[in-house]
Amino acid sequence: MDVQWYPGQMAKAKRLLRENLKLVDAVIEVLDARIPHSSKNPDIRDLLARRPVVGVLTRLDLADPSATAEWVKKLHSDYFAVTAVNANSGDGVKKLLQLLKGLPQRRKHGQRPIRLIVVGIPNVGKSSLINRLTKRSAAATGDKPGITKGKQWVRVNEGLEILDTPGMLWPKITSERQAFGLATAGAVKDEILDPVQMGVELVGFMQNEYAQRFAERYKLEQAEGDPRHILNEIGRRRGCLVKGGEVDLEAAARLVVKDFREGRLGRITLEKAGESYDEDEVLPDDHR
Ligand SMILES: Nc1nc2c(ncn2[C@@H]2O[C@H](COP(=O)(O)OP(=O)(O)OP(=O)(O)O)[C@@H](O)[C@H]2O)c(=O)[nH]1
Protein backbone atom coordinates (compact mmCIF):
# COMPACT_ATOMS: atom_id res chain seq x y z
CA MET A 1 0.00 0.00 0.00
CA ASP A 2 1.43 3.36 -1.04
CA VAL A 3 0.65 6.03 1.54
CA GLN A 4 1.78 8.93 -0.69
CA TRP A 5 3.90 10.57 2.01
CA TYR A 6 7.62 10.02 1.76
CA PRO A 7 10.23 10.60 4.49
CA GLY A 8 11.57 13.68 2.65
CA GLN A 9 8.11 15.25 2.45
CA MET A 10 7.47 14.58 6.11
CA ALA A 11 10.82 16.07 7.09
CA LYS A 12 10.01 19.17 5.02
CA ALA A 13 6.55 19.51 6.55
CA LYS A 14 8.07 19.18 10.03
CA ARG A 15 10.76 21.75 9.29
CA LEU A 16 8.25 24.28 7.97
CA LEU A 17 5.98 23.71 10.93
CA ARG A 18 8.87 24.12 13.36
CA GLU A 19 9.79 27.44 11.71
CA ASN A 20 6.23 28.74 11.71
CA LEU A 21 5.62 27.65 15.27
CA LYS A 22 8.32 30.05 16.43
CA LEU A 23 6.05 32.86 15.29
CA VAL A 24 2.86 31.89 17.07
CA ASP A 25 1.32 31.84 20.54
CA ALA A 26 -1.16 29.04 19.91
CA VAL A 27 -2.26 26.43 17.41
CA ILE A 28 -5.57 25.30 15.90
CA GLU A 29 -5.46 21.62 14.94
CA VAL A 30 -8.14 20.84 12.37
CA LEU A 31 -9.66 17.36 12.42
CA ASP A 32 -12.30 15.89 10.15
CA ALA A 33 -15.38 15.17 12.29
CA ARG A 34 -16.06 12.02 10.25
CA ILE A 35 -12.64 10.53 11.14
CA PRO A 36 -11.42 12.30 14.29
CA HIS A 37 -9.09 9.49 15.31
CA SER A 38 -7.38 9.10 11.94
CA SER A 39 -7.15 12.80 11.13
CA LYS A 40 -5.28 13.51 14.36
CA ASN A 41 -1.51 13.33 14.13
CA PRO A 42 -0.10 12.02 17.40
CA ASP A 43 3.49 12.80 16.35
CA ILE A 44 3.22 16.57 16.47
CA ARG A 45 2.85 16.98 20.23
CA ASP A 46 6.62 17.36 20.74
CA LEU A 47 6.90 19.94 17.97
CA LEU A 48 4.21 22.11 19.50
CA ALA A 49 6.37 22.74 22.55
CA ARG A 50 3.61 23.24 25.09
CA ARG A 51 1.76 25.83 23.03
CA PRO A 52 -1.97 25.70 23.70
CA VAL A 53 -3.79 23.78 20.97
CA VAL A 54 -7.45 24.27 20.12
CA GLY A 55 -9.00 21.26 18.38
CA VAL A 56 -11.53 22.07 15.66
CA LEU A 57 -13.65 19.35 14.09
CA THR A 58 -14.71 20.44 10.61
CA ARG A 59 -17.51 18.98 8.49
CA LEU A 60 -19.97 19.34 11.31
CA ASP A 61 -22.64 19.27 8.59
CA LEU A 62 -21.51 15.87 7.23
CA ALA A 63 -20.79 14.02 10.49
CA ASP A 64 -23.28 12.24 12.72
CA PRO A 65 -24.33 14.87 15.31
CA SER A 66 -24.35 12.54 18.31
CA ALA A 67 -20.95 11.12 17.37
CA THR A 68 -19.54 14.65 17.06
CA ALA A 69 -20.84 15.58 20.51
CA GLU A 70 -19.12 12.49 21.93
CA TRP A 71 -15.85 13.25 20.18
CA VAL A 72 -15.85 16.82 21.50
CA LYS A 73 -16.23 15.39 24.99
CA LYS A 74 -13.60 12.72 24.49
CA LEU A 75 -11.00 15.03 22.96
CA HIS A 76 -11.41 17.62 25.68
CA SER A 77 -8.49 16.30 27.71
CA ASP A 78 -6.12 16.48 24.71
CA TYR A 79 -6.68 20.15 23.91
CA PHE A 80 -6.90 23.61 25.42
CA ALA A 81 -10.47 23.57 24.04
CA VAL A 82 -12.40 21.63 21.39
CA THR A 83 -15.32 22.59 19.19
CA ALA A 84 -16.96 21.63 15.88
CA VAL A 85 -17.67 23.83 12.86
CA ASN A 86 -18.93 23.82 9.33
CA ALA A 87 -16.01 25.59 7.69
CA ASN A 88 -18.07 26.21 4.56
CA SER A 89 -21.12 27.89 6.05
CA GLY A 90 -19.44 29.26 9.18
CA ASP A 91 -21.69 27.37 11.58
CA GLY A 92 -19.94 27.12 14.93
CA VAL A 93 -17.29 29.74 14.11
CA LYS A 94 -18.74 32.24 16.59
CA LYS A 95 -18.28 29.72 19.36
CA LEU A 96 -14.73 29.04 18.20
CA LEU A 97 -13.96 32.77 18.35
CA GLN A 98 -15.26 32.84 21.92
CA LEU A 99 -12.92 29.98 22.84
CA LEU A 100 -9.98 31.67 21.15
CA LYS A 101 -10.53 34.74 23.33
CA GLY A 102 -9.45 32.64 26.31
CA LEU A 103 -6.01 31.84 24.82
CA PRO A 104 -3.03 33.13 26.72
CA GLN A 105 -0.30 35.15 24.98
CA ARG A 106 3.02 33.34 24.92
CA ARG A 107 5.25 36.32 25.59
CA LYS A 108 4.40 39.79 26.74
CA HIS A 109 4.59 41.95 23.62
CA GLY A 110 2.68 44.94 24.86
CA GLN A 111 -0.67 45.02 23.16
CA ARG A 112 0.08 42.86 20.15
CA PRO A 113 -2.62 40.42 19.09
CA ILE A 114 -2.37 36.72 19.81
CA ARG A 115 -0.90 34.88 16.83
CA LEU A 116 -2.22 31.57 15.61
CA ILE A 117 -1.39 28.90 13.07
CA VAL A 118 -3.90 26.40 11.67
CA VAL A 119 -2.49 22.90 11.21
CA GLY A 120 -3.93 19.63 9.97
CA ILE A 121 -3.58 16.77 7.52
CA PRO A 122 -4.50 17.38 3.85
CA ASN A 123 -8.03 18.31 2.83
CA VAL A 124 -9.51 18.62 6.33
CA GLY A 125 -10.67 22.20 5.76
CA LYS A 126 -7.71 24.29 6.98
CA SER A 127 -7.99 26.95 4.27
CA SER A 128 -11.77 27.06 4.52
CA LEU A 129 -11.49 27.64 8.26
CA ILE A 130 -8.90 30.40 7.79
CA ASN A 131 -11.18 32.04 5.24
CA ARG A 132 -14.11 31.82 7.63
CA LEU A 133 -12.13 33.24 10.54
CA THR A 134 -10.77 36.08 8.47
CA LYS A 135 -13.90 36.56 6.34
CA ARG A 136 -11.88 36.34 3.14
CA SER A 137 -11.95 34.04 0.20
CA ALA A 138 -8.32 34.42 -0.80
CA ALA A 139 -6.71 31.31 0.69
CA ALA A 140 -6.86 28.59 -1.96
CA THR A 141 -9.39 25.89 -1.23
CA GLY A 142 -10.15 22.83 -3.26
CA ASP A 143 -11.30 19.29 -3.05
CA LYS A 144 -7.95 17.77 -3.94
CA PRO A 145 -5.46 17.19 -1.10
CA GLY A 146 -2.43 19.44 -0.97
CA ILE A 147 -3.28 22.67 -2.79
CA THR A 148 -2.92 25.21 0.01
CA LYS A 149 -0.82 28.22 -1.06
CA GLY A 150 0.25 31.75 -0.01
CA LYS A 151 1.75 33.22 3.21
CA GLN A 152 1.02 36.26 5.37
CA TRP A 153 -0.54 37.35 8.66
CA VAL A 154 -4.25 37.95 8.46
CA ARG A 155 -6.25 39.80 11.05
CA VAL A 156 -9.19 37.97 12.62
CA ASN A 157 -10.13 40.71 15.08
CA GLU A 158 -8.28 43.22 17.23
CA GLY A 159 -7.00 40.53 19.54
CA LEU A 160 -6.17 37.82 17.01
CA GLU A 161 -3.98 37.27 13.94
CA ILE A 162 -3.66 34.13 11.93
CA LEU A 163 -0.90 32.83 9.65
CA ASP A 164 -2.33 32.56 6.16
CA THR A 165 -0.26 29.43 5.45
CA PRO A 166 -1.67 26.41 7.20
CA GLY A 167 0.77 23.91 8.66
CA MET A 168 0.59 20.65 6.77
CA LEU A 169 0.58 17.52 8.91
CA TRP A 170 1.12 14.07 7.53
CA PRO A 171 -1.49 11.43 8.20
CA LYS A 172 -0.21 8.58 10.30
CA ILE A 173 -1.53 5.32 8.94
CA THR A 174 -0.99 2.36 11.20
CA SER A 175 -3.95 0.16 10.35
CA GLU A 176 -6.13 -0.90 7.45
CA ARG A 177 -9.06 0.74 9.20
CA GLN A 178 -7.24 4.08 9.26
CA ALA A 179 -6.32 3.72 5.59
CA PHE A 180 -9.99 3.13 4.83
CA GLY A 181 -11.15 6.13 6.89
CA LEU A 182 -8.56 8.53 5.49
CA ALA A 183 -9.12 7.48 1.89
CA THR A 184 -12.91 7.44 2.12
CA ALA A 185 -12.97 10.86 3.76
CA GLY A 186 -10.64 12.18 1.04
CA ALA A 187 -7.71 13.07 3.32
CA VAL A 188 -5.27 10.98 1.32
CA LYS A 189 -5.27 10.35 -2.40
CA ASP A 190 -7.79 7.77 -3.57
CA GLU A 191 -5.00 5.64 -5.00
CA ILE A 192 -3.99 4.53 -1.51
CA LEU A 193 -6.77 1.94 -1.65
CA ASP A 194 -8.15 -0.12 -4.46
CA PRO A 195 -11.41 1.71 -5.36
CA VAL A 196 -13.49 -1.46 -5.33
CA GLN A 197 -12.09 -2.41 -1.92
CA MET A 198 -12.93 1.09 -0.64
CA GLY A 199 -16.49 0.78 -1.99
CA VAL A 200 -16.97 -2.71 -0.58
CA GLU A 201 -15.73 -1.58 2.85
CA LEU A 202 -17.99 1.45 2.78
CA VAL A 203 -21.00 -0.72 1.90
CA GLY A 204 -20.06 -3.08 4.78
CA PHE A 205 -19.80 -0.13 7.15
CA MET A 206 -23.17 1.25 6.05
CA GLN A 207 -24.78 -2.17 6.48
CA ASN A 208 -23.53 -2.32 10.06
CA GLU A 209 -24.15 1.25 11.13
CA TYR A 210 -26.79 2.89 8.96
CA ALA A 211 -28.55 0.00 7.22
CA GLN A 212 -32.01 1.49 6.78
CA ARG A 213 -30.86 4.78 5.41
CA PHE A 214 -28.52 2.97 3.05
CA ALA A 215 -31.27 0.69 1.73
CA GLU A 216 -33.51 3.72 1.18
CA ARG A 217 -30.88 5.69 -0.66
CA TYR A 218 -30.30 2.96 -3.23
CA LYS A 219 -33.84 1.57 -3.16
CA LEU A 220 -32.58 -1.83 -2.07
CA GLU A 221 -35.18 -4.29 -0.85
CA GLN A 222 -32.74 -5.21 1.85
CA ALA A 223 -29.25 -4.01 2.68
CA GLU A 224 -28.07 -7.30 4.14
CA GLY A 225 -25.77 -9.79 2.45
CA ASP A 226 -22.35 -9.84 0.89
CA PRO A 227 -21.24 -6.17 0.48
CA ARG A 228 -19.68 -6.93 -2.89
CA HIS A 229 -22.95 -8.32 -4.08
CA ILE A 230 -24.81 -5.24 -2.77
CA LEU A 231 -22.32 -2.99 -4.55
CA ASN A 232 -22.97 -4.94 -7.73
CA GLU A 233 -26.70 -4.43 -7.25
CA ILE A 234 -26.24 -0.69 -6.76
CA GLY A 235 -24.15 -0.56 -9.93
CA ARG A 236 -26.84 -2.37 -11.87
CA ARG A 237 -29.58 -0.07 -10.63
CA ARG A 238 -27.54 3.06 -11.28
CA GLY A 239 -26.47 2.05 -14.76
CA CYS A 240 -22.78 1.59 -13.96
CA LEU A 241 -22.32 -0.90 -16.77
CA VAL A 242 -19.60 -1.94 -19.17
CA LYS A 243 -20.12 -3.15 -22.74
CA GLY A 244 -22.17 -6.31 -22.72
CA GLY A 245 -24.28 -5.09 -19.82
CA GLU A 246 -22.05 -6.29 -17.00
CA VAL A 247 -21.74 -4.13 -13.91
CA ASP A 248 -18.69 -1.87 -13.69
CA LEU A 249 -17.92 -2.49 -10.04
CA GLU A 250 -15.28 0.23 -9.89
CA ALA A 251 -17.74 2.84 -11.18
CA ALA A 252 -20.30 1.64 -8.62
CA ALA A 253 -17.71 1.94 -5.84
CA ARG A 254 -16.76 5.45 -6.91
CA LEU A 255 -20.43 6.42 -6.97
CA VAL A 256 -21.03 5.22 -3.39
CA VAL A 257 -17.85 6.92 -2.12
CA LYS A 258 -18.83 10.16 -3.88
CA ASP A 259 -22.31 9.96 -2.36
CA PHE A 260 -20.72 9.55 1.07
CA ARG A 261 -18.32 12.48 0.61
CA GLU A 262 -21.05 14.77 -0.59
CA GLY A 263 -23.41 13.90 2.24
CA ARG A 264 -25.95 12.02 0.13
CA LEU A 265 -25.84 9.03 2.45
CA GLY A 266 -26.78 11.32 5.32
CA ARG A 267 -24.64 12.51 8.23
CA ILE A 268 -22.08 9.82 8.91
CA THR A 269 -19.13 9.39 11.25
CA LEU A 270 -16.77 6.58 10.30
CA GLU A 271 -15.00 6.43 13.67
CA LYS A 272 -16.88 6.50 16.95
CA ALA A 273 -15.48 8.03 20.15
CA GLY A 274 -16.37 5.00 22.25
CA GLU A 275 -14.33 2.56 20.18
CA SER A 276 -10.85 1.44 21.08
CA TYR A 277 -8.20 2.10 18.48
CA ASP A 278 -5.38 0.35 20.33
CA GLU A 279 -6.13 -3.10 19.05
CA ASP A 280 -6.18 -2.24 15.37
CA GLU A 281 -4.15 -4.52 13.21
CA VAL A 282 -0.76 -2.85 12.94
CA LEU A 283 0.67 -2.54 9.45
CA PRO A 284 4.27 -3.48 8.83
CA ASP A 285 6.75 -0.58 9.20
CA ASP A 286 7.30 -0.06 5.48
CA HIS A 287 3.62 0.77 5.07
CA ARG A 288 3.52 3.56 7.64
N1 LIG B 1 -19.37 20.19 3.81
C2 LIG B 1 -18.24 20.72 4.25
N3 LIG B 1 -17.20 20.85 3.42
C4 LIG B 1 -16.06 21.40 3.90
C5 LIG B 1 -15.93 21.82 5.25
N6 LIG B 1 -14.68 22.30 5.42
C7 LIG B 1 -14.06 22.18 4.23
N8 LIG B 1 -14.89 21.65 3.31
C9 LIG B 1 -14.59 21.37 1.89
O10 LIG B 1 -13.50 20.46 1.87
C11 LIG B 1 -12.64 20.75 0.77
C12 LIG B 1 -11.22 20.97 1.28
O13 LIG B 1 -11.18 22.15 2.06
P14 LIG B 1 -9.85 23.02 2.20
O15 LIG B 1 -10.16 24.18 3.07
O16 LIG B 1 -9.22 23.27 0.87
O17 LIG B 1 -8.92 21.98 3.00
P18 LIG B 1 -7.37 22.13 3.37
O19 LIG B 1 -7.16 21.41 4.64
O20 LIG B 1 -6.93 23.55 3.31
O21 LIG B 1 -6.76 21.30 2.16
P22 LIG B 1 -5.23 21.16 1.65
O23 LIG B 1 -4.84 22.45 1.05
O24 LIG B 1 -5.35 20.06 0.65
O25 LIG B 1 -4.41 20.74 2.80
C26 LIG B 1 -13.24 21.96 0.07
O27 LIG B 1 -14.01 21.52 -1.01
C28 LIG B 1 -14.12 22.59 1.14
O29 LIG B 1 -15.20 23.31 0.60
C30 LIG B 1 -17.07 21.66 6.13
O31 LIG B 1 -17.06 22.00 7.32
N32 LIG B 1 -18.20 21.10 5.56
Interval 150-179: pLDDT, tens:
458 889 988 899 998 899 898 888 888 899
Whether 133 and 268 share a structural domain: no
Q: Check whether residue 213 and residue 92 sit in a common domain.
A: no
Complex ipTM tops 0.95: yes
Residue 157's φ and ψ, nearest 5 degrees, are: -160, -170
pTM above 0.95, yes or no: no
Distance CA 233, CA 245 (A): 13
Q: Are residues 164 and 198 in the same domain?
A: no
Same domain, 80 and 204: no
**Which residues fall within 8 angstroms of residue 85, CB to CB, at 6 or more apart?**
56, 57, 58, 60, 91, 92, 93, 95, 96, 129, 132
**28 and 130 inside one domain:** yes
Residues 125 and 259 in one domain: no
Nearest CA to ligand 1 atom 27: 143
102 domain residue, yes or no: yes
Residue 5 host element (H or E): none
The per-residue pLDDT for 184 is 94
Asked whether the beta carbons of 45 and 29 are under 8 A apart, the reply is: no
Please tell me if the CB atom of residue 146 comes closer than 6 angstroms to any atom of ligand 1. yes
State the closest ligand 1 atom to the C-alpha of 58, by its place in the atom list counted from 1.
31
Ligand 1 atom having least distance to the Cα of 86: 31
Task: Mark whether 49 and 107 lie in a shared domain.
Answer: yes
Same domain, 131 and 255: no
Neighbouring CB atoms inside 10 A of 45's CB total: 11
For 44, the domain range is 7-168
Are both 113 and 34 inside the same structural domain?
A: yes
The answer on 217 and 163 residing in a single domain is: no
Instruction: Tell which one of 141, 188, 267 to mutate to probe ligand 1, the residue whose CB is within 8 A of the most ligand atoms.
Output: 141
Structural domain count of the chain: 2
